[in-house]
Amino acid sequence: MRTWLVTGGAGFIGSNFVRQCLAEEAGLKLINLDRLTYAGNLDSLAAVRDHPNHLFVNGDIGDRALVKSLLSSHRPEAIVHFAAESHVDRSIDGPADFIETNIVGTFALLEAARSYWYDLDADWRRDFRFLQVSTDEVYGSLGPEGYFTEESPYRPTSPYAASKAASDHLVRAWHHTYGLPVLITNCSNNYGPYQFPEKLIPLMIVKALAGEPLPVYGDGQQVRDWLYVEDHCRAIRSVLQGGRPGQTYNIGGHCEKTNLEVVKTICALLDELVPTSPVLPHAALLTFVEDRPGHDRRYAIDAGKIQRELGWVPQETFATGLHKTIRWYLENRAWCQRVRNGSYRGERLGVVSGA
Protein backbone atom coordinates (compact mmCIF):
# COMPACT_ATOMS: atom_id res chain seq x y z
CA MET A 1 0.00 0.00 0.00
CA ARG A 2 1.26 3.46 -0.91
CA THR A 3 1.52 5.99 1.93
CA TRP A 4 1.62 9.79 1.89
CA LEU A 5 2.19 12.13 4.82
CA VAL A 6 -0.14 15.13 4.48
CA THR A 7 0.48 18.19 6.65
CA GLY A 8 -2.39 20.57 7.35
CA GLY A 9 -4.95 18.01 6.29
CA ALA A 10 -7.70 19.40 8.53
CA GLY A 11 -7.62 22.79 6.80
CA PHE A 12 -9.61 23.92 3.79
CA ILE A 13 -7.49 22.68 0.88
CA GLY A 14 -5.89 19.89 2.87
CA SER A 15 -9.18 18.33 3.96
CA ASN A 16 -10.52 18.50 0.40
CA PHE A 17 -7.33 16.77 -0.75
CA VAL A 18 -7.67 14.06 1.90
CA ARG A 19 -11.29 13.31 1.05
CA GLN A 20 -10.62 13.30 -2.70
CA CYS A 21 -7.62 10.99 -2.41
CA LEU A 22 -9.41 8.49 -0.19
CA ALA A 23 -12.37 8.46 -2.58
CA GLU A 24 -10.37 8.11 -5.80
CA GLU A 25 -6.96 6.58 -5.00
CA ALA A 26 -7.19 2.84 -4.40
CA GLY A 27 -4.55 1.43 -2.11
CA LEU A 28 -3.44 4.78 -0.68
CA LYS A 29 -2.93 5.41 3.03
CA LEU A 30 -2.83 8.99 4.34
CA ILE A 31 -1.10 10.08 7.53
CA ASN A 32 -2.77 13.40 8.29
CA LEU A 33 -0.72 15.68 10.56
CA ASP A 34 -2.43 18.88 11.70
CA ARG A 35 -1.88 21.14 14.72
CA LEU A 36 -5.56 22.15 14.75
CA THR A 37 -5.11 25.88 14.92
CA TYR A 38 -8.26 27.98 14.43
CA ALA A 39 -8.33 26.99 10.71
CA GLY A 40 -8.09 23.25 11.39
CA ASN A 41 -11.53 21.69 11.68
CA LEU A 42 -12.23 18.07 12.48
CA ASP A 43 -15.79 18.55 11.21
CA SER A 44 -14.23 18.80 7.74
CA LEU A 45 -12.90 15.26 8.16
CA ALA A 46 -16.10 13.72 9.50
CA ALA A 47 -16.72 11.79 6.26
CA VAL A 48 -13.36 9.99 6.58
CA ARG A 49 -13.08 9.88 10.36
CA ASP A 50 -13.37 6.08 10.39
CA HIS A 51 -11.80 5.37 7.00
CA PRO A 52 -9.34 2.48 7.41
CA ASN A 53 -6.70 4.24 5.27
CA HIS A 54 -6.79 7.54 7.16
CA LEU A 55 -4.76 8.21 10.29
CA PHE A 56 -5.18 11.63 11.89
CA VAL A 57 -2.44 12.92 14.19
CA ASN A 58 -2.82 16.14 16.16
CA GLY A 59 0.67 17.60 16.05
CA ASP A 60 3.02 20.31 14.85
CA ILE A 61 5.26 20.14 11.78
CA GLY A 62 7.88 21.81 13.97
CA ASP A 63 7.91 18.86 16.38
CA ARG A 64 10.91 17.07 14.94
CA ALA A 65 10.62 14.03 17.18
CA LEU A 66 7.00 13.49 16.20
CA VAL A 67 7.65 13.94 12.47
CA LYS A 68 10.66 11.63 12.64
CA SER A 69 8.53 8.99 14.37
CA LEU A 70 5.76 9.26 11.76
CA LEU A 71 8.24 8.97 8.90
CA SER A 72 10.07 5.98 10.35
CA SER A 73 6.83 4.20 11.38
CA HIS A 74 4.83 4.71 8.19
CA ARG A 75 7.56 5.13 5.54
CA PRO A 76 5.66 7.44 3.18
CA GLU A 77 6.51 7.78 -0.49
CA ALA A 78 5.62 11.48 -0.42
CA ILE A 79 5.12 14.43 1.89
CA VAL A 80 2.38 16.83 0.75
CA HIS A 81 2.92 20.06 2.67
CA PHE A 82 -0.27 22.13 3.05
CA ALA A 83 0.28 23.27 6.64
CA ALA A 84 0.50 27.07 6.73
CA GLU A 85 -0.92 30.23 8.19
CA SER A 86 -2.67 31.67 5.15
CA HIS A 87 -4.90 34.71 5.77
CA VAL A 88 -3.40 38.04 4.65
CA ASP A 89 -5.43 40.15 7.10
CA ARG A 90 -4.26 38.02 10.03
CA SER A 91 -0.65 38.28 8.83
CA ILE A 92 -0.92 42.08 8.90
CA ASP A 93 -2.30 42.07 12.44
CA GLY A 94 0.08 39.39 13.77
CA PRO A 95 2.96 38.29 11.53
CA ALA A 96 4.82 36.23 14.16
CA ASP A 97 2.68 33.09 13.71
CA PHE A 98 3.29 33.25 9.95
CA ILE A 99 7.06 33.38 10.41
CA GLU A 100 6.97 30.53 12.92
CA THR A 101 4.73 28.15 10.95
CA ASN A 102 5.50 28.97 7.34
CA ILE A 103 9.25 29.47 7.62
CA VAL A 104 10.52 27.80 10.79
CA GLY A 105 8.01 24.96 10.54
CA THR A 106 8.83 24.29 6.88
CA PHE A 107 12.54 24.27 7.73
CA ALA A 108 11.97 21.67 10.44
CA LEU A 109 9.87 19.53 8.08
CA LEU A 110 12.51 19.75 5.35
CA GLU A 111 15.23 18.63 7.74
CA ALA A 112 13.13 15.67 8.90
CA ALA A 113 12.40 14.77 5.27
CA ARG A 114 16.06 15.05 4.29
CA SER A 115 17.17 12.75 7.10
CA TYR A 116 14.46 10.23 6.25
CA TRP A 117 15.24 10.38 2.51
CA TYR A 118 18.98 9.83 3.07
CA ASP A 119 18.26 6.56 4.87
CA LEU A 120 16.02 5.11 2.14
CA ASP A 121 17.30 2.47 -0.24
CA ALA A 122 17.98 3.46 -3.85
CA ASP A 123 14.55 2.66 -5.28
CA TRP A 124 12.67 4.45 -2.50
CA ARG A 125 15.03 7.44 -2.74
CA ARG A 126 14.33 7.72 -6.46
CA ASP A 127 10.56 7.65 -6.02
CA PHE A 128 10.22 9.88 -2.92
CA ARG A 129 8.74 13.38 -3.34
CA PHE A 130 8.34 16.44 -1.11
CA LEU A 131 5.59 18.68 -2.50
CA GLN A 132 5.29 22.26 -1.25
CA VAL A 133 1.83 23.77 -1.74
CA SER A 134 2.30 27.51 -2.21
CA THR A 135 0.49 30.56 -3.56
CA ASP A 136 0.57 33.03 -6.44
CA GLU A 137 0.84 35.83 -3.87
CA VAL A 138 4.61 35.26 -3.70
CA TYR A 139 4.85 36.98 -7.11
CA GLY A 140 3.39 40.27 -5.88
CA SER A 141 0.98 42.42 -7.86
CA LEU A 142 0.44 42.51 -11.63
CA GLY A 143 -0.53 45.45 -13.77
CA PRO A 144 -3.65 45.34 -15.96
CA GLU A 145 -1.96 42.91 -18.38
CA GLY A 146 0.34 39.90 -18.20
CA TYR A 147 0.41 36.69 -16.17
CA PHE A 148 2.51 35.02 -13.52
CA THR A 149 4.65 32.21 -14.92
CA GLU A 150 7.01 29.83 -13.18
CA GLU A 151 9.83 32.21 -14.15
CA SER A 152 8.24 35.32 -12.62
CA PRO A 153 10.39 36.97 -9.92
CA TYR A 154 9.22 36.84 -6.33
CA ARG A 155 7.95 40.21 -5.06
CA PRO A 156 5.80 39.46 -1.99
CA THR A 157 4.01 42.44 -0.47
CA SER A 158 2.33 41.08 2.69
CA PRO A 159 3.77 39.23 5.70
CA TYR A 160 1.83 36.16 4.57
CA ALA A 161 3.20 36.27 1.03
CA ALA A 162 6.73 36.95 2.30
CA SER A 163 6.57 33.95 4.63
CA LYS A 164 5.40 31.69 1.81
CA ALA A 165 8.09 33.06 -0.51
CA ALA A 166 10.70 32.29 2.12
CA SER A 167 9.42 28.73 2.55
CA ASP A 168 9.48 28.23 -1.25
CA HIS A 169 13.09 29.39 -1.30
CA LEU A 170 13.95 26.91 1.45
CA VAL A 171 12.33 24.04 -0.43
CA ARG A 172 14.15 24.98 -3.63
CA ALA A 173 17.46 25.29 -1.77
CA TRP A 174 17.08 21.86 -0.18
CA HIS A 175 16.75 20.44 -3.69
CA HIS A 176 19.77 22.23 -5.14
CA THR A 177 21.99 21.80 -2.08
CA TYR A 178 21.03 18.35 -0.82
CA GLY A 179 19.30 16.76 -3.80
CA LEU A 180 15.96 16.34 -2.00
CA PRO A 181 13.40 15.57 -4.75
CA VAL A 182 11.00 18.47 -4.26
CA LEU A 183 8.07 19.89 -6.20
CA ILE A 184 6.47 23.32 -5.73
CA THR A 185 2.97 24.35 -6.77
CA ASN A 186 1.82 27.97 -6.77
CA CYS A 187 -1.96 28.26 -6.95
CA SER A 188 -4.43 31.08 -7.47
CA ASN A 189 -7.32 31.92 -5.11
CA ASN A 190 -9.14 28.75 -4.06
CA TYR A 191 -12.82 28.48 -3.22
CA GLY A 192 -15.23 25.65 -2.53
CA PRO A 193 -16.71 23.55 0.29
CA TYR A 194 -15.29 23.65 3.83
CA GLN A 195 -13.48 27.00 3.42
CA PHE A 196 -13.12 28.94 6.67
CA PRO A 197 -15.49 31.94 6.46
CA GLU A 198 -12.85 34.62 6.77
CA LYS A 199 -12.01 34.35 3.06
CA LEU A 200 -14.00 36.36 0.53
CA ILE A 201 -16.45 33.85 -0.97
CA PRO A 202 -17.55 31.95 2.17
CA LEU A 203 -17.56 35.18 4.19
CA MET A 204 -19.98 36.79 1.77
CA ILE A 205 -22.21 33.70 1.63
CA VAL A 206 -22.43 33.36 5.41
CA LYS A 207 -22.96 37.08 6.02
CA ALA A 208 -25.58 37.36 3.29
CA LEU A 209 -27.54 34.43 4.70
CA ALA A 210 -27.44 36.14 8.11
CA GLY A 211 -28.58 39.46 6.63
CA GLU A 212 -25.34 41.16 7.66
CA PRO A 213 -23.45 43.88 5.71
CA LEU A 214 -21.14 42.55 2.99
CA PRO A 215 -17.82 44.42 3.40
CA VAL A 216 -15.90 45.07 0.17
CA TYR A 217 -12.40 46.52 0.42
CA GLY A 218 -11.73 49.82 -1.38
CA ASP A 219 -13.42 50.08 -4.75
CA GLY A 220 -13.72 46.29 -5.14
CA GLN A 221 -11.76 46.32 -8.39
CA GLN A 222 -8.95 44.05 -7.18
CA VAL A 223 -8.64 41.16 -9.65
CA ARG A 224 -8.04 37.54 -8.68
CA ASP A 225 -7.88 34.27 -10.65
CA TRP A 226 -10.36 31.85 -9.05
CA LEU A 227 -9.70 28.10 -8.78
CA TYR A 228 -12.21 25.53 -7.53
CA VAL A 229 -10.57 23.59 -4.71
CA GLU A 230 -11.27 20.11 -6.15
CA ASP A 231 -9.55 21.14 -9.40
CA HIS A 232 -6.58 22.27 -7.33
CA CYS A 233 -6.44 18.93 -5.53
CA ARG A 234 -6.48 17.06 -8.85
CA ALA A 235 -3.63 19.25 -10.06
CA ILE A 236 -1.55 18.46 -6.97
CA ARG A 237 -2.09 14.75 -7.55
CA SER A 238 -1.00 15.19 -11.18
CA VAL A 239 2.18 16.96 -10.08
CA LEU A 240 2.92 14.25 -7.52
CA GLN A 241 2.51 11.55 -10.13
CA GLY A 242 4.29 13.15 -13.08
CA GLY A 243 6.05 16.35 -12.05
CA ARG A 244 9.80 16.66 -12.52
CA PRO A 245 11.79 17.00 -9.25
CA GLY A 246 13.04 20.51 -8.69
CA GLN A 247 10.31 22.04 -10.84
CA THR A 248 7.57 24.55 -10.06
CA TYR A 249 4.06 24.28 -11.49
CA ASN A 250 1.59 27.17 -11.46
CA ILE A 251 -2.05 26.14 -10.98
CA GLY A 252 -4.78 28.56 -12.03
CA GLY A 253 -8.46 28.49 -12.86
CA HIS A 254 -8.29 30.62 -16.04
CA CYS A 255 -10.90 32.81 -14.35
CA GLU A 256 -10.15 36.45 -13.56
CA LYS A 257 -12.81 38.35 -11.65
CA THR A 258 -12.87 41.57 -9.67
CA ASN A 259 -13.82 41.19 -6.02
CA LEU A 260 -16.92 43.29 -6.62
CA GLU A 261 -17.97 41.06 -9.53
CA VAL A 262 -17.56 37.99 -7.32
CA VAL A 263 -19.68 39.45 -4.53
CA LYS A 264 -22.43 40.56 -6.91
CA THR A 265 -22.49 37.11 -8.51
CA ILE A 266 -22.86 35.49 -5.08
CA CYS A 267 -25.73 37.85 -4.28
CA ALA A 268 -27.51 37.05 -7.55
CA LEU A 269 -27.17 33.29 -6.99
CA LEU A 270 -28.46 33.60 -3.43
CA ASP A 271 -31.45 35.57 -4.73
CA GLU A 272 -32.19 32.63 -7.01
CA LEU A 273 -31.47 29.83 -4.54
CA VAL A 274 -33.03 31.45 -1.44
CA PRO A 275 -36.09 33.26 -2.83
CA THR A 276 -37.70 33.45 0.63
CA SER A 277 -34.78 35.41 2.12
CA PRO A 278 -35.96 38.47 4.08
CA VAL A 279 -33.14 40.59 2.65
CA LEU A 280 -33.79 40.36 -1.09
CA PRO A 281 -31.97 41.50 -3.11
CA HIS A 282 -28.83 40.42 -1.29
CA ALA A 283 -26.81 43.02 -3.20
CA ALA A 284 -28.50 45.65 -1.01
CA LEU A 285 -26.17 44.43 1.77
CA LEU A 286 -23.05 45.57 -0.12
CA THR A 287 -20.89 47.94 1.96
CA PHE A 288 -17.59 49.48 0.83
CA VAL A 289 -14.98 49.68 3.58
CA GLU A 290 -11.47 51.10 3.87
CA ASP A 291 -8.97 49.09 1.86
CA ARG A 292 -6.47 46.95 3.72
CA PRO A 293 -2.79 48.04 3.77
CA GLY A 294 -0.75 47.02 0.71
CA HIS A 295 -3.68 45.37 -1.05
CA ASP A 296 -2.34 43.87 -4.31
CA ARG A 297 -4.34 44.98 -7.34
CA ARG A 298 -4.23 41.96 -9.64
CA TYR A 299 -3.12 38.33 -9.71
CA ALA A 300 -3.35 36.12 -12.80
CA ILE A 301 -1.81 32.71 -13.46
CA ASP A 302 -0.41 31.25 -16.66
CA ALA A 303 -1.06 27.53 -16.10
CA GLY A 304 0.30 26.47 -19.48
CA LYS A 305 3.20 24.44 -18.10
CA ILE A 306 1.09 22.01 -16.07
CA GLN A 307 -1.28 21.62 -19.01
CA ARG A 308 1.55 20.93 -21.49
CA GLU A 309 3.56 18.58 -19.29
CA LEU A 310 0.89 16.82 -17.24
CA GLY A 311 -2.35 17.35 -19.15
CA TRP A 312 -4.15 19.06 -16.27
CA VAL A 313 -6.89 21.59 -16.94
CA PRO A 314 -9.62 22.74 -14.53
CA GLN A 315 -12.89 20.87 -14.83
CA GLU A 316 -15.04 23.60 -13.27
CA THR A 317 -15.88 27.03 -14.63
CA PHE A 318 -16.45 29.83 -12.15
CA ALA A 319 -20.20 29.53 -12.76
CA THR A 320 -20.35 25.80 -12.04
CA GLY A 321 -17.87 25.93 -9.17
CA LEU A 322 -19.56 28.85 -7.44
CA HIS A 323 -22.99 27.24 -7.80
CA LYS A 324 -21.65 24.04 -6.17
CA THR A 325 -20.01 26.09 -3.43
CA ILE A 326 -23.12 28.08 -2.53
CA ARG A 327 -25.23 24.89 -2.60
CA TRP A 328 -22.78 23.30 -0.15
CA TYR A 329 -22.97 26.21 2.28
CA LEU A 330 -26.76 26.22 2.08
CA GLU A 331 -26.87 22.50 2.81
CA ASN A 332 -24.26 22.61 5.58
CA ARG A 333 -25.37 25.49 7.76
CA ALA A 334 -24.58 23.49 10.89
CA TRP A 335 -20.90 23.36 9.84
CA CYS A 336 -20.94 27.12 9.31
CA GLN A 337 -22.67 27.77 12.62
CA ARG A 338 -20.13 25.69 14.54
CA VAL A 339 -17.33 27.69 12.93
CA ARG A 340 -18.97 31.03 13.67
CA ASN A 341 -19.70 30.24 17.32
CA GLY A 342 -16.36 28.50 17.88
CA SER A 343 -17.84 25.19 19.03
CA TYR A 344 -15.92 23.30 16.32
CA ARG A 345 -12.80 23.88 18.41
CA GLY A 346 -14.16 21.77 21.24
CA GLU A 347 -12.74 18.56 19.76
CA ARG A 348 -8.97 18.30 20.04
CA LEU A 349 -8.16 14.60 19.93
CA GLY A 350 -4.79 12.97 19.44
CA VAL A 351 -5.80 10.28 16.99
CA VAL A 352 -9.25 10.39 15.45
CA SER A 353 -9.01 7.39 13.16
CA GLY A 354 -6.64 4.47 12.89
CA ALA A 355 -5.11 2.61 9.97
Domain positions in the chain are 2-346
Please state, as a whole number, how many other Cβ atoms lie within 10 Å of the Cβ of residue 284.
Answer: 10
The one catalytic residue among 160, 299, 329, 344: 160
Query: Chain-centre distance of CA 85, in angstroms?
Result: 10
**pLDDT per position as a tens digit, 269-289:** 999 999 999 999 999 999 999
The one catalytic residue among 43, 60, 136, 316: 136
- Per-residue pLDDT at 305 exceeds 70: yes
Q: Are 70 and 95 in contact (CB under 8 A)?
A: no
Q: What angle do CA 79, 125, 19 make, to 5 degrees?
A: 25
**pLDDT per position as a tens digit, 120-134:** 999 999 999 999 999
Q: Is 160 a known active-site residue?
A: yes
Check residue 126 and give its pLDDT: 95
Q: Tell me the CATH number of domain 2-346, given options 3.40.50.720, 3.40.50.2000, 3.40.190.10, 2.30.110.10.
A: 3.40.50.720
Q: Are 295 and 217 in contact (CB under 8 A)?
A: yes
**pLDDT per position as a tens digit, 91-108:** 999 999 999 999 999 999
Where residue 347 falls among pLDDT bands split at 50, 70, 90?
low
Where residue 10 falls among pLDDT bands split at 50, 70, 90?
very high
Check residue 348 and give its pLDDT: 53
Check residue 345 and give its pLDDT: 85
Check residue 39 and give its pLDDT: 87
Residue among 176, 327, 302 at smallest CA distance from 249: 302
What would the mean pLDDT of 324-352 be, rounded to a whole number?
83
- Per-residue pLDDT at 29 exceeds 60: yes
Q: For the whole model, what pTM was predicted? A: 0.95
The one catalytic residue among 34, 43, 137, 231: 137
**pLDDT per position as a tens digit, 75-86:** 999 999 999 998
What would the mean pLDDT of 259-271 be, rounded to a whole number?
98
**pLDDT per position as a tens digit, 202-219:** 999 999 999 999 999 999
Helix (H, G, I), strand (E, B) or coil at 177: helix
Where residue 354 falls among pLDDT bands split at 50, 70, 90?
very low
- Per-residue pLDDT at 346 exceeds 90: no
Q: Is 316 a known active-site residue?
A: no
Average pLDDT, rounded, for the chain = 94
User: CA 80 to CA 161: how far, in whole Å?
Assistant: 19
Residue among 256, 257, 251 at smallest CA distance from 302: 251
Q: Is 136 a known active-site residue?
A: yes
Residue 133: beta bridge partners? 185
Residue among 184, 188, 355, 214 at smallest CA distance from 279: 214
**pLDDT per position as a tens digit, 47-67:** 999 999 999 999 999 999 999
What would the mean pLDDT of 313-326 be, rounded to a whole number?
97
